[in-house]
Amino acid sequence: MLKDPSALIIRKKAWDGYVLLELRSPRVARRARPGQFLMVRVSGQPYPLLRRPLSIHARDEDSVEIFFARAGLGTAILADKKPGETLDILGPLGKGFVIPGVTKGKKFCLLGGGRGIAPLYFLAQELRAKGGHPRVFYGGKTEADLPLLQKFAAQKMEVFVSTDNGSAGFPGLVTAMLERDLVQSAQPALIFACGPDPMMKRTAEIAAERKIPAQLSLESIMGCGIGACWGCVRKIRKGRAAEWVKICEEGPVFSASEVVWEE
């Protein structure tokens, strides 16, 4: 894990409610793996004090991108940053997606709900670079929640969209779109997902019903991102028992079969 106190913002793109920032940070970029995250200090002021966890959305030789939704104060402050300003970041943190040894010619389904699409662009690029065929299922409440659609399309990625209100693509939940695809086309080698908990739980059920391995990138409130505060624990199955696990250290990506869903 590295600390870069002056990662320079070199590009910004903003949509209604969503922002993408590209940060020059060569050492962090070189180490970044899909599914890992950064802890970002949003302000030089004492408040808000805690860094915010954000997935590594993409990386280049000397830069990383973050893509985020405005959720509350921290992300609102971050959304106001401009190119030329710097950010204090820690990363890359956590254990990311595990890409199988054999990917060539294999199909992978990548499921992103809303801001959960963030880590899947980097993952799709890596899978493709290794000869795999990523199929991206991108769901939002409305069309406005799909700002990255053009970015995936520009890279000629296979991307399918769904909206809860039917304003674009498949009308309904992204998990329902996945189920339809699993009936209509060949079974994927693996499903990867990131999004709100109900979406992840349903993805885990769909994967278990069809015996398809799945990896889920979980969210939790994170105080430190480095295993010191116990703020981020989730219940994870370990053998026959379930344990509270710090997802910043052991995750955020877990096998779907390991995750215990609270009622």
Distance from C-alpha of 10 to C-alpha of 151, rounded to nearest angstrom: 18
Choose from ligand FAD, ligand FES, none: what does 227 bind? Cβ within 5-8 Å by kind: ligand FES
101 to 140: interface string for ligand FAD, x by CB under 6 A = --------------x--x----------------------
Q: Is residue 95 classed as helix, strand or coil in its secondary structure?
A: strand
| 3-state helix/strand/coil string of 153-165 | HHCCCEEEEEECC
Site membership for ligand FES, residue 50 (CB under 6 A): no
CA distances from 109 to 94, 98, 134, 226 (A): 22, 14, 6, 30
Site string for ligand FAD, 134-173 (x = CB under 6 A): ----------------------------------------
Task: Give yes or no for residue 95 binding ligand FES (CB under 6 A).
Answer: no
User: Which residue of 1, 71, 208, 228 would you call a contact of ligand FAD, by CB under 6 A?
Assistant: 71
Strands (E), the chain: 2-15, 18-24, 37-41, 52-55, 58-59, 63-69, 86-93, 107-113, 133-140, 158-163, 170-171, 190-194, 214-217, 233-238, 241-246, 253-255
Matching residue, tokens 């398809």 = 212
Q: Which stretch binds ligand FES (CB under 6 A): 18-26, 141-149, 206-214, 230-238?
A: 230-238
Q: Map tokens 């116990």 to a residue.
A: 230
Q: Which is nearer to ligand FAD, 169 or 195 (CB)?
A: 195
Indicate the residue among 168 and 233 with the shorter CB distance to ligand FES: 233
Helix (H) or strand (E) holding 78: helix 73-79
- For ligand FAD, the binding residue among 1, 14, 49, 73 (CB under 6 A) is 73
**Can you say how many angstroms the Cα of residue 228 is from the centroid of all Cα atoms in its chain?**
23
For 138, other C-beta atoms within 10 Å of its C-beta total: 27
76-93 burial: b if 16+ Cβ within 10 Å, else e: eebbebeeeebbbbbbbb
Write the binding mask 181 to 220 for ligand FAD: x where contact by CB under 6 A, - elsewhere: --------------------------------------xx
38 or 189, CB closer to ligand FAD? 38
The yes or no reply on residue 91 touching ligand FAD (CB under 6 A) is no
CB atoms within 10 A of CB 165: 12
CA distance 74 to 235: 27
Residue 225 contacts ligand FES per CB under 6 A: yes
Report what 166 binds from ligand FAD, ligand FES, none; CB cut-off 5-8 Å by kind.
Answer: none
| Cα 206 → chain centroid | 20
User: What mask, x for binding ligand FAD by CB under 6 A, covers residues 3 to 42?
Assistant: ----------------------------------x-----
User: Residues interacting with ligand FES, by CB under 6 A?
Assistant: 222-225, 227-232, 246, 248
User: Residues interacting with ligand FAD, by CB under 6 A?
Assistant: 37, 52-55, 67-69, 71-75, 115, 118, 219-222, 252
